[in-house]
Amino acid sequence: MDIALTEARAAGARGEVPVGAVIVGPEGVIAQAGNRTRELNDPTAHAEILAIRAACAVLGQERLAGYDLYVSLEPCPMCAAAISNARIARLYYGAGDPKSGGVAQGPRVFAHPQCHHRPEVYDGIAAKDSEQLLSDFFAARR
């Protein structure tokens, strides 16, 4: 999660919403990313999506069975669906996201009957640090 927070800080420094994600497998960290929606002009360039794409590219496969994803903020519904499609084994996230989260609130993607793969979910990991990053970022923009 320390690496995810480092990616989140780097994203904030680029003017992006400070969220970072890391994918870890038996061989260790294989991908890490921060939000790049503004830089790439791409509304799907969330940290989780970029990390999943990078990990799949490294491995040359479309699924990440047995891999874990760490992300500083509760995934949105789009990212939760991608995590499910990627067959991620375990999801660790920091702060909950009442506004845009799709795991513990909102659509609760993994609880949906059409969800074919549910990762194990562990929330609240370094949540205070993640929340602080986000609140500092938005406070500075006001």
Residues that bind Zn ion (CB under 5 A): 46, 76, 79
CB of 74: closest distance to Zn ion in angstroms?
Answer: 9
Task: Say what the alpha-carbon torsion angle 111, 114, 118, 123 is, to the nearest 10 degrees.
Answer: -30
Token output for 71: 């992300």
Task: Indicate the residue among 24 and 81 with the shorter CB distance to Zn ion.
Answer: 81
CB of 15: closest distance to Zn ion in angstroms?
Answer: 18
Task: Indicate the residue among 60 and 84 with the shorter CB distance to Zn ion.
Answer: 84
From 7, 16, 48, 74, the catalytic residue: 48
Token output for 56: 């799949």
Task: Indicate the residue among 77 and 124 with the shorter CB distance to Zn ion.
Answer: 77
Active site residue 48: yes
Burial class (CB in 10 A: 0-12, 13-18, 19+), 6: middle
CB of 79: closest distance to Zn ion in angstroms?
Answer: 3
Strands (E), 1-142: 20-25, 28-34, 68-73, 90-95, 120-122
Catalytic positions: 48
